[in-house]
Amino acid sequence: MSQTAFSSLNLHSSLYQNLATLGYQTMTPIQAQSLPPILEAKDVIAQAQTGSGKTAAFGLGLLQQLDVKRFRVQSLVLCPTRELADQVAKEIRKLGRSIHNIKVLTLCGGMSYGVQLGSLEHGAHIIVGTPGRVEEHLRKGSLKLNNLNTLVLDEADRMLDMGFKDTLDAIIEHTPKQRQTLLFSATFPTQIQSIAQRIMINPMRIEVASSHDSTSIVQHFYKIDDEAQRIIALRLLLGHSRPESTLVFCNTKRETQEVANELQSYGFCALALHGDLEQKVRDQTLVRFANRSTSILVATDVAARGLDIDSLDAVINYHIARECEVHVHRIGRTGRAGCNGTACTLYSEKESYKIARLADYLNQAIESEPLPPIKLLEQPTYKPNMTTLQIDGGKKQKVRPGDILGALTGKDGITGKQVGKIHIFDNCAYVAVNWDARKPALKKLEKGKLKGRSFQVRQIL
Ligand code: AMP
């Protein structure tokens, strides 16, 4: 029996059969190494990146142990961001869809507390949430973890980076001492090692070589003379290759906003993504980038986690990352799914030591290349082909993507080809339309009805 076949695991037959329907034929390296100890209820620390299949690694562990007849919270998964928590919950639901009556609940900040209270009263087996909100429910007594079997810390390094250490400690206080603890992290700073020592029992440590395909990602490095040249270099790189979707990484929140503002002032369509944004603005920013009506997203590593976008044309490191693993993770976001990606890194003399370290880590020589010609700055910047329309009706008003598409493309409407991605939230929806079709699209939505009602519509600029 192959060591990477799921059949080597002794999973419940319903879980096993469902894997085949999901198209999961063999285990990914992280699954092959971590699932055997996870299924033996051992504590595991695994170094794994997004895309490695880590969610199924712990998800299958939780589902195998689950006693669906006991309607108590048996597993808790903590994630740094709401987007990641949503993705994790979605994956667990998919993996567990053969289990009748299973309830997986997300508890994240930025969502209605009252609705969560109602859901908790109905009970749940598995909770996936962000630390702040989970701790709030524990403190107020609406969530109880007395029957918890397994605690998962997903992207533990990011949770610590975001300052959740005390919140995590407070949550762990509410869990039984006898439990399985699984910790997944892309990097292993000393803080992680010390938290692992405190909260885990004889954990097995698993490391899997980073799985990104570096051959499809072309890396370019540019040494800048001084700090004033950094933003110029960024403008030149963007203006030269004019990528449709670029993620620019900064090391601090403040810098993301400053860089986005500068780019906007030169006519680029750029937005900042960082942890201090209000939830609504954050949602809008993510939507506008995902639907290609914003071409540049300037983000910190923490904020970019959970960003679920598969086809980035370019990643630009405005500042090189502090750690080599983070660098590899950043550039791994481009060139996915067989697409060719470009990764550019700017660095100053002061940051040269990080370049030397990275060259060592990657085992390859790194040389600075000349920047595109400065006269490019005189050329007009480029704009995205799409723009976003916001509709003040969403899931609660029973608005569905098909309704929006139907309203836009009906009589005197725009063509289906001119409609891009549609995202529906609780009380609002966003639809991307071709820039040239925005006026008729707006008119159609304003005049027409969705679910028999008129909704306010506006273009987001
Ligand atoms: P993750 O690293 O958990 O975000 O997973 C990355 C992607 O891989 C998800 O879309 C999973 O659905 C998918 N995936 C996870 N495990 C497997 C597997 N064994 N075979 C095929 N796809 C998988």
So where are the chain's domains? 6-207, 217-378, 386-460
Q: Is the CB of 305 under 6 A from ligand 1?
A: no
Looking at 3.30.230.10, 3.30.70.330, 3.30.360.10, 3.40.50.1100, the CATH number of the domain 386-460 comes to 3.30.70.330
Tens-digit pLDDT profile for residues 169-186: 999 999 999 999 999 998
Strands 296-299 and 246-249: parallel
Lowest mean pLDDT of 199-213, 243-257, 338-352, name the range: 199-213
Q: What is the pLDDT of residue 358?
A: 92
The alpha carbon of 88 and the centre of ligand 1 are apart by a number of angstroms equal to 11
Helix (H, G, I), strand (E, B) or coil at 66: coil
Q: Fold identical between 6-207 and 217-378?
A: yes
Residue 52 CA to ligand 1 centre (angstroms): 7
Round to whole Å and give the CA distance between 84 and 153.
12
pLDDT at position 211:
47
At residue 233, the pLDDT reads: 98
Fold classified for 6-207: Rossmann fold (3.40.50)
Pocket flag, ligand 1, residue 31 (CB < 6 Å): yes
CA proximity to 234, closest of 273, 274, 261: 261
Choose one of 15, 27, 55, 305 to mutate for the ligand 1 pocket test, by most ligand atoms within 8 angstroms of C-beta: 55
CATH number for the segment(s) 217-378: 3.40.50.300
Task: Say how far apart CA 217 and CA 343 lie, in whole Å.
Answer: 7
Residues 14, 19, 20, 25, CA torsion sign: negative
Identify any residues that bridge with 297 across adjacent strands, giving them in sequence order: 247, 271
Instruction: Give the atom of ligand 1 at the shortest distance from the alpha carbon of 51.
Output: 2
Cβ of 53 closer than 6 Å to ligand 1, yes or no, is: yes
Ligand 1 contact via 50 beta carbon (within 6 Å): yes
Closest CA to 389 of 408, 369, 373: 408
Q: Global pTM?
A: 0.60
Q: Quick one: pLDDT at residue 299?
A: 96
Would the CB of 106 count as within 6 Å of ligand 1?
no
